[in-house]
A and B are shown apart, each in its own frame.
Chain A
Amino acid sequence: MRKLVLAGNPNVGKSVVFSQLTGSKVMISNYAGTTVEFTKGLLTTESESFEVLDAPGTYSLEPTSKVEEVASTLVDQADIVINVVDATNLERNLFLTTELLERDVPLIVALNMIDEAGHKGVKIDVKKLEELLGVPVIPTVAVSGEGLKELIDYLPEAVNRKNKPLNIPDRWAYIGELVGKVQEVVHRHHSWLETLQDASLRPSTGLPIAALVLFIAFQLVIGLGEFLHEFMEDYIFEGFYETLLLYLSEALGSGGFLHDILIGQLVDGAIDFEESLGVLTTGVFVELGVVLPFLAVFYMVLGFLEDSGYLPRLAVMVDRSMHRLGLHGYSIIPMVLGFGCNVPAALAARNLESRRERFIACTLMSVAIPCMAQLALIVGLVGRHGFEYLAVVFASLFFIWVVLGLIIDRVMPGYTPSMIIEIPPYRIPSIKAQAKKLGMRIRGFLVHATPYILGGILVVNILYTLGIIHFLGVLFAPAVQGLLGLPGDAVSTLLIGFLRKDVAVAMMIPLGLDARQLVIGAVVLAAYFPCAATFTVLVKEMGVVDMAKSAVIMIVTAFSAGFILNLLLDTLIPAAYLAAALIALSLILPMVLGSTSDRRELSDLDETA
């Protein structure tokens, strides 16, 4: 079977073309770097079948990041390359096209977003472009599917030019001449989206917009998430589902091993979805009744932010602050993704250029960004004791994120280069595409999380039954009690936390902790170690050595933070004040300390100049 590789600049719609050609479902957003690894699919035409590979975007075949390397390697293995070109930016896109024309591989060009080019006043003479390049050029609008049939029909006509390699100045000269012959640009006025586009980049308007966007996002996730959670709890779990389980409980003889595993312990003869700890009671409730509502709303909001093209603008607004933590603005994207699930966030860190940045980003993300599954449980559990306790959890994690960043940036040699990113135009997200993406993510959660959540509950039950938890509880009681002020049995939550964080937080419920203990437990659980799924990905992304270093940082940070909270919270400082103080410190410290990383970059660039 021949290999068909989709290559092109970032954010030109390769993944859209891919999903149209193969019918496979892939993540699509409106920012550079959504695809970090290649995706495979199958395309069957009348005459033959192709294996289609969707490569991450790259500006050139001379890679400058890990992600771009993937693209370059894929092109080497291709039997045919479809070069997806953004028609609104013909000149810049042709840089890669001319490089591809020098490779020993048949090429065909998909001139994508031809409709948007029209709106922007860009007119391209496709016939002439085809003549000059010497390969077929097919105008397409991938989102609507326009031109894709022609693209498939013309695949056999792809031409292997194997042009003579050019150096960079000659390449640009050649492209300049070519574009002059085929493109005509008519000047037109700004649309309202373009006005908004510029406003979100100017600090005077951009910073308030950023604050507003984050505030609305937060309110929506917490508010709407809570509403959906209560709806599920009141109408589905405590109604129909409970009745069903009570029948099952009776059928199992209201006790015994299987009953304990599936239903768990009955509390006053009834099922308590939070405390029964059965696979079908607490397990299913945590997954569908608590995590899913929050996660669905989060992914709805994230999907909108991704597809509108806002995220890179947020990166510009926070770039200054991120530099103090040894990162640059674009690393806000893995951080935002991390709130959904740390796994895709760790993968997104690949877009960062240096090993140093990837280390800092992955470490900060896994220490201080709790995933939505964990957050949903924290909001439900800690929030009951008042908003100020929830605020302490968020403030502590924010403080850890900032302080850890400041420290690593100072201690770690090297510097973080300043960013250079393309800012995509704003686009109004299509409801259909949003629904599809949300569906994909929810399905992904159900498929990947179910074995861990239900398995986690199962493991807990077995450990309890065998008395292992009590044994470990007694063994670690001095440490857990002395350091963190938690009962010895809290060891069980830390143990399960290696597997799955939401279940771990839920495990605190039967321990009967008070508000301050819950806060300490939540912060330590969030920071001390990544869950199994994240850990696997982090090892792959960072390597064993860096992961080991990162793990030491995580463990030390988590227990120090827990210890400090245990000392201060409610004993010396009331929750509300502590939260306010931590946030104030997190904002002031970086300003006072400044950044060492920039200075290192400026002097380094001076040397190489």
Chain B
Amino acid sequence: MEFSLVEIKPGQTGVISDIRGGSALKTKLNQLGLREGKRIKKISSVFNRGPVTISVDNYQVAVGYGKAIRIMVEVDELEKASPGRES
């Protein structure tokens, strides 16, 4: 199942499956190394539409809410992936 970065819980891991935005967003994310097929782990999210922090390889990126809801992730363990909106 696909969930957005906002929906998955901190600690969950997965693979970016889709970036649902225009080419500007895709390019920007791409330059930072965030692209389809990339393995990520969610670190945290700030409540009330705050940014989501993820770790990719050896670095961490904070993504604002408006962008985070457009990054879809294929979550690793399906049984644990009960999506909660916020942490």
Interface residues of A (CB under 8 A from B): 59-60, 62, 64, 88-89, 91-92, 95, 120, 122, 168, 172, 197-198, 201-203, 206, 312, 315-317, 319-320, 323, 328-329, 417-423, 425, 598, 601-602, 605, 608-609
Interface residues of B in 14-69 (CB under 8 A from A): 20-25, 27-33, 35, 43-51, 53, 56-68
Which chain B residue shows the least CB distance to A87?
B58
Which residues does chain B contribute within 8 Å of A316, judged by CB atoms? 46, 50-51, 53, 62
Q: Are A605 and B66 in contact (CB under 8 A)?
A: yes
Which chain A residue shows the least CB distance to B47?
A203
Q: Determine the distance from Cα of A312 to Cα of B53 in the docked complex, in whole angstroms.
A: 11
Q: Determine the distance from Cα of A59 to Cα of B61 in the docked complex, in whole angstroms.
A: 13
Q: Determine the distance from Cα of A417 to Cα of B22 in the docked complex, in whole angstroms.
A: 13
Q: How far is the CB of A102 from chain B (nearest CB, A)?
A: 15
Which residues does chain B contribute within 8 Å of A609, judged by CB atoms? 20-22, 70
Q: Determine the distance from Cα of A77 to Cα of B63 in the docked complex, in whole angstroms.
A: 33
Q: Determine the distance from Cα of A60 to Cα of B24 in the docked complex, in whole angstroms.
A: 13
Q: Are B61 and A423 in contact (CB under 8 A)?
A: yes
Q: Are A319 and B51 in contact (CB under 8 A)?
A: yes
B87 at interface, CB cutoff 8 A:
yes
Which residues does chain B contribute within 8 Å of A89, judged by CB atoms? 33, 57-59
Q: Determine the distance from Cα of A450 to Cα of B32 in the docked complex, in whole angstroms.
A: 43
Q: How far is the CB of B65 from chain A (nearest CB, A)?
A: 6
A-B contact pairs, 17 of them (CB 8 A): A91-B57, A92-B59, A201-B44, A202-B10, A316-B46, A316-B51, A320-B50, A417-B67, A418-B63, A418-B64, A419-B63, A420-B32, A422-B60, A598-B49, A605-B70, A608-B21, A608-B23
Which chain A residue shows the least CB distance to B29?
A420
Q: Are B43 and A92 in contact (CB under 8 A)?
A: no
* Known interface pairs A120-B58, A198-B43, A420-B62; A203-B87 also in contact (CB < 8 Å): yes
Residue picked from B23, B32, B68, B70, most chain A C-beta under 10 Å: B32
Q: Are A422 and B58 in contact (CB under 8 A)?
A: no
Q: Determine the distance from Cα of A312 to Cα of B67 in the docked complex, in whole angstroms.
A: 18
* Known interface pairs A319-B64, A329-B51; A202-B31 also in contact (CB < 8 Å): no
* Known interface pairs A91-B57, A605-B21; A312-B62 also in contact (CB < 8 Å): yes
Q: Determine the distance from Cα of A381 to Cα of B50 in the docked complex, in whole angstroms.
A: 40
* Known interface pairs A91-B33, A605-B22, A609-B21; A315-B44 also in contact (CB < 8 Å): no
Q: How far is the CB of A26 from chain B (nearest CB, A)?
A: 23
Q: Are B62 and A64 in contact (CB under 8 A)?
A: no
Q: Determine the distance from Cα of A601 to Cα of B20 in the docked complex, in whole angstroms.
A: 14
Which chain A residue shows the least CB distance to B26?
A168
Q: Are A92 and B57 in contact (CB under 8 A)?
A: yes
Q: How far is the CB of A421 from chain B (nearest CB, A)?
A: 5
Which residues does chain A contribute within 8 Å of B70, judged by CB atoms? 605, 609
Which residues does chain B contribute within 8 Å of A419, judged by CB atoms? 51, 62-64
Q: How far is the CB of A528 from chain B (nearest CB, A)?
A: 33
Which residues does chain A contribute within 8 Å of B67, judged by CB atoms? 417-418, 420, 605
Which residues does chain A contribute within 8 Å of B51, judged by CB atoms? 316, 319-320, 329, 418-419
Q: Determine the distance from Cα of A358 to Cα of B58 in the docked complex, in whole angstroms.
A: 31
* Known interface pairs A64-B27, A316-B53, A319-B51; A422-B65 also in contact (CB < 8 Å): no
Q: Determine the distance from Cα of A122 to Cα of B57 in the docked complex, in whole angstroms.
A: 10
Q: Are A59 and B31 in contact (CB under 8 A)?
A: yes
New contact pairs (19) apart from A418-B63, A608-B22, CB-CB < 8 Å: A62-B31, A64-B27, A89-B59, A91-B57, A92-B32, A92-B33, A95-B31, A198-B43, A201-B43, A203-B45, A203-B46, A319-B64, A320-B51, A419-B64, A420-B29, A420-B32, A422-B61, A605-B25, A608-B25
Q: Are A168 and B30 in contact (CB under 8 A)?
A: yes
Q: Determine the distance from Cα of A605 to Cα of B47 in the docked complex, in whole angstroms.
A: 21
Q: Determine the distance from Cα of A417 to Cα of B63 in the docked complex, in whole angstroms.
A: 11
Question: CB within 8 A of A203: which of B32, B44, B58, B65?
Answer: B44
Q: Determine the distance from Cα of A197 to Cα of B53 in the docked complex, in whole angstroms.
A: 11
Which chain A residue shows the least CB distance to B11?
A198
Q: Determine the distance from Cα of A444 to Cα of B57 in the docked complex, in whole angstroms.
A: 39
Residue picked from A122, A329, A418, A419, most chain B C-beta under 10 Å: A418
Q: Are B27 and A319 in contact (CB under 8 A)?
A: no
* Known interface pairs A91-B33, A198-B44, A420-B67; A168-B27 also in contact (CB < 8 Å): yes
Q: Determine the distance from Cα of A172 to Cα of B25 in the docked complex, in whole angstroms.
A: 17
Q: Determine the distance from Cα of A320 to Cα of B58 in the docked complex, in whole angstroms.
A: 26
* Known interface pairs A198-B44, A201-B44; A420-B28 also in contact (CB < 8 Å): yes
Which residues does chain A contribute within 8 Å of B63, judged by CB atoms? 418-420
Q: Determine the distance from Cα of A62 to Cα of B21 in the docked complex, in whole angstroms.
A: 19
Q: Determine the distance from Cα of A605 to Cα of B29 in the docked complex, in whole angstroms.
A: 14
Q: Are B50 and A203 in contact (CB under 8 A)?
A: yes
